[in-house]
Structure 1
Amino acid sequence: MRRAHTVPQVRDAEADLMRSLPDGVLMQRAATGLAHAVLDLLGGGYGHRVLLLVGSGDNGGDALHAGCALLRRGSRVAAVLLGGSHHEEGLAAFTAAGGSVVDDVADAPRPDVVVDGIVGIGGRPGLRPEAVAALAALSGVPVVAVDVPSGVDVDTGELDGPHVVADLTVTFGTHKVAHLVGPAAGVCGAVHLVDLGLELPPAVAESLQPEDVAALVPRPGPDDHKYTRGVVGVRAGSETYPGAALLCVAGASSGLVGMVRYVGSAADRVRVAHPEVVGDGRVQAWVVGPGGGDEAAEQLAAVVGSGVPVLVDADGLAHVRPGQAAVLTPHAGELARMLDTAREDVEARPLAHARLAAERYDAVLLLKGRHTLVVAPDGRTRVTTTGLPWLATAGAGDVLSGLIGALLAAGLDPWDAASVGSWLHGAAATLASGGGPLVAGDVAAALPAVVRSLP
């Protein structure tokens, strides 16, 4: 499982490890990993030009020591010193190895890659004017960020002011929140982790990997039958939006439960498309709201107090009250209405708003987005990194709701059901897309193949 930690957690772990190691060993490990990542990006070292943008913190030291390793591999490396004081040992080693220090970006040949060592994990969001000017002069050159792109908020994933947009981020010891949570995650590029051997406390955020999902997905035993595997009920769709019912049922009917029940005005269409779906009866979870339109309030009222987990999505979100649902699945606009704020505020601070809503509504809150967030009322957070931009298509959220409802009915707790469902949904979209366009029904159809492919 990919785990993300905050700056204080990382610093405490680094301090503990440094007390057990000779001076400078930790930085040399980081610099070696950084240099290897740059070499991989360049396809080798000899003859390539590398420009280091060096700030005053330890990230500047990492960049300078990595510059030494690149010089030994035949690269031509120059450094621009930004800010005040700099890592003395790193700078001395860099100049002794043959690296050149220049006063301005314009004084160095156009590089093949830029190494961003401007601000470390302890820096505040935003950049100073001299750093902004240096980056502007290097527009179009691939950027490798040291630990995090300079200028982002490491512990929240928020952006406030100028920042680096990296093609590759090389981080050390553990992932940080900004690597997983948007909008900062969108400026990290590919993220490469260099293991420093840190012993860390429980993470503040985590991201499921295929092995984690495989361990959580419910699988039938030899004595199971359709009722013991779980029965999910769907109250979705309306006269105006019957397609939402079909797509929600398609997500629920992906084979992860023994039976799907549908109740609503689209029953005839559902039976034609999904003859295995039956009508009202006992269930282990309900899905309410997708395409509900004017019927959404009635759909929700019919299941509140039923004694089983309820997932509320789309039109149902306008009617839900704290304590009525196990899982809520808004997009940014819907969450903004739930919290009486602007959509732009939610998009700028998604983690903060998702945590606020999860606590306020006493439910697992799944905030859809480029990196979907799943937050429990106690603040536990998972981030979904599967999926691709083609998944932004009408009806995809209806499929997701049905899928998560099925996982609830199969016995997963709300936090696991929402995060596993989100992961499977993104992976199915990637499989179905093949790198090109797709529609929501394609995602539902690909779900069994994704489950079969799990390790």
Structure 2
Amino acid sequence: MRTAYTVETVRAAERELMARLPEGTLMRRAAAGLAVACGELLGRVSGGRVALLVGSGDNGGDALYAGARLARRGAGVVAVLLSPERAHQGGLAALRAAGGRVSDDPPRDVAWADLVVDGIVGIGGRGGLRPEAARLLHAARESALVVAVDLPSGVDADTGEVGGEAVRADATVTFGAYKPGLLIDPARERAGALRLVDIGLALPEEAEVEALHHADVAELLPRPAAESDKYRRGVVGVVAGSARYPGAAVLAVAGALRGGAGAVRYVGPAADAVLAHFPETLVHAGPPHKAGRVQSWVIGPGIGDESDALGEVLAAEVPVLVDADGLRFLTPQQVRSRTAATLLTPHAGEAAALLSHGREEIEAARLRSVRELAARYGATVLLKGSTTLVADATGPVRVNPTGTGWLATAGSGDVLSGVTGSLLAAGLPARDAASVGAYLHGLAARRAAGSPGAPILASEVAEHLGAAWRDVVA
């Protein structure tokens, strides 16, 4: 599992470690890891041209010491000092001793470089880049690689928010621990490839943000035992589709059938379409309470303005996933009065309506928004998007590391609702069901899109869920 910690937590761990080490040890450890990463990106260090953009903080010191290491290996290294009077003096002396130099023409030297090292602002920085720093970054050649020190300057380490112009790095070398902003958009897409350098920090067990890996998901996936039958494995009820949107019902059922439960009960007006595609489905005209026993409900995809079933489903004492059209009729009081788990799965536009915010605000502050939704509704929330986040009232926010831009296609969310609801029926807690569902959904989309990628259909995502499951448990 990849874990990320707040600036305050990382700095507390750094202070504790620095108290036990000779002065400067931690910075030199960081610089050594940074230099190795820069050397690998250059390919051939000797003869490489490196420009260091050096701010006034410790990130500038890290960049200077790493530059000294590269200069000793034969690279041409020049430091552009953005605050000369506040530059790290030990790092500056090390760079000069190794044969590096200080720039007397910053735009020329940045344009000259094969590799630009962003040591402008540290993890405590707020707001966008200052105009001078932004102009220097624009001076870099298109072919030059940009490496960020700890995180791209101009992004918020704790939230992933970008408050103005920010560095767009090809790679980020971060020290001691990942920071939430490196995993969450809009900052994540500016970080490039991530490399974590272990500098010996002792961090708490519970992180601020976490991302599951294959092994974590494999441990959570439900597996039938020898004595299992379809009812012991769980039955998921799906209320989806309408005369106008029968396909939503088909896609939600497709995800549910491949999501780990033993059976799927469909309730709604699209039974003929569902059975034509999936004769395994148990269908009922409704209302939901007459459809038979279920261990979870999924409601919302494609139901249009038919909201009558929502109150009935929410009154059931089983976990309920509410998606799409179902979210339009939802109130915090309905969710908070429930005793069983509730999982909401909005995209940014739906989240904006639930919070009475603008969509742009949701997309700019995804971490804050998903936490606010979970707190206001007393629910687990899966916020869909370029980085899908899962939050509940307690514990770290989970960020889904799988997926592809090709998932932005009609109906893909219906498939996600189905598979996640099925995992709820199989017994997974809401937070785990949402995390595992998003993970498998993203893997299936990658398989469907192939490499280097091509347009996909939501139905193709559903078809690849089995293969994604096998990838995880192999």
Instruction: Deviation per CA, 1:79-131: give whole Å up to 9, x if none.
Output: 10012401111110000000011133234261111000000011122122221
Give the distance between the partners of 1:23 and 1:332, measured in 2 at CA: 47
What TM-score, normalized by structure 1, do the two folds share?
Answer: 0.97
Does residue 171 of structure 1 match 2:174? yes
Q: Check 1:422–1:214 CA distance in 2 against 1; reply closer, same or farther (3 A cut).
A: same
Q: Shift in Å at residue 353 of structure 1?
A: 1.4
1:449 aligned residue: 467
Give the distance between the partners of 2:45 and 2:73, measured in 1 at CA: 5
1:358 aligned residue: 374
2:443 aligned residue: 427
Query: Which residue among 114, 119, 124 is the counterpart of 1:112?
Result: 114
Give the distance between the partners of 1:379 and 1:299, measured in 2 at CA: 32
For 2:87, give the aligned amino acid. H
1:245 aligned residue: 249
SS of match in other structure, 2:464: helix
Does residue 209 of structure 1 match 2:202? no
Counterpart contact for 2:259–2:420, Cα < 8 Å: no
1:53-452 paired onto structure 2 within 5 Å:
53-83=53-83, 84-108=85-109, 110-138=112-140, 140=142, 141-201=144-204, 202-254=206-258, 256-279=260-283, 280-295=291-306, 297-322=307-332, 323=335, 326-378=342-394, 380-434=396-450, 435-452=453-470
For 1:215, give the aligned amino acid. E
Instruction: Deviation per CA, 1:256-299: give whole Å up to 9, x if none.
Output: 1111110100011111100111132100000000001022x123
Give the distance between the partners of 2:107 and 2:344, measured in 1 at CA: 52
SS of match in other structure, 1:293: coil
RMSD over aligned CA atoms reads: 1.3
Q: Shift in Å at residue 159 of structure 1?
A: 0.8
Counterpart contact for 1:355–1:379, Cα < 8 Å: no
Counterpart contact for 1:105–1:137, Cα < 8 Å: no
Counterpart contact for 1:432–1:442, Cα < 8 Å: yes
Structure 1's unaligned 5+ residue stretches are none
Instruction: Deviation per CA, 1:219-269: give whole Å up to 9, x if none.
Output: 111221111111101000000100000000000011511111101000111
SS of match in other structure, 1:237: coil
Counterpart contact for 2:416–2:441, Cα < 8 Å: yes
The count of residues paired between Structure 1 and Structure 2 equals 454
Does residue 44 of structure 1 match 2:44? yes
**Which is worse superposed, 249-258 or 283-292?**
249-258
Counterpart contact for 2:259–2:418, Cα < 8 Å: no
Give the distance between the partners of 1:94 and 1:329, measured in 2 at CA: 52
Instruction: Deviation per CA, 1:396-440: give whole Å up to 9, x if none.
Output: 000000011000000000011111111111111111110221110
Instruction: Deviation per CA, 1:180-226: give whole Å up to 9, x if none.
Output: 11111111111111111211122111111111111111111122111
Give the distance between the partners of 1:217 and 1:309, measured in 2 at CA: 17
SS of match in other structure, 2:172: strand
For 2:255, give the aligned amino acid. G
SS of match in other structure, 1:357: helix
Q: Check 1:57–1:269 CA distance in 2 against 1; reply closer, same or farther (3 A cut).
A: same
1:32 aligned residue: 32
Q: Check 1:164–1:349 CA distance in 2 against 1; reply closer, same or farther (3 A cut).
A: same
Structure 2's unaligned 5+ residue stretches are 284-290
For 2:36, give the aligned amino acid. H
2:288 aligned residue: none
Give the distance between the partners of 1:74 and 1:96, measured in 2 at CA: 13
Give the distance between the partners of 2:228 and 2:259, measured in 1 at CA: 14
**Which is worse superposed, 216-225 or 88-97?**
216-225
Give the distance between the partners of 1:379 and 1:351, measured in 2 at CA: 13
What TM-score, normalized by structure 2, do the two folds share?
Answer: 0.94
SS of match in other structure, 2:419: helix
For 2:370, give the aligned amino acid. A
Counterpart contact for 2:259–2:423, Cα < 8 Å: no
SS of match in other structure, 1:191: strand
Counterpart contact for 1:236–1:299, Cα < 8 Å: no
Give the distance between the partners of 2:67 and 2:326, measured in 1 at CA: 56
**Which is worse superposed, 313-322 or 234-243?**
313-322
Give the distance between the partners of 1:437 and 1:142, measured in 2 at CA: 29
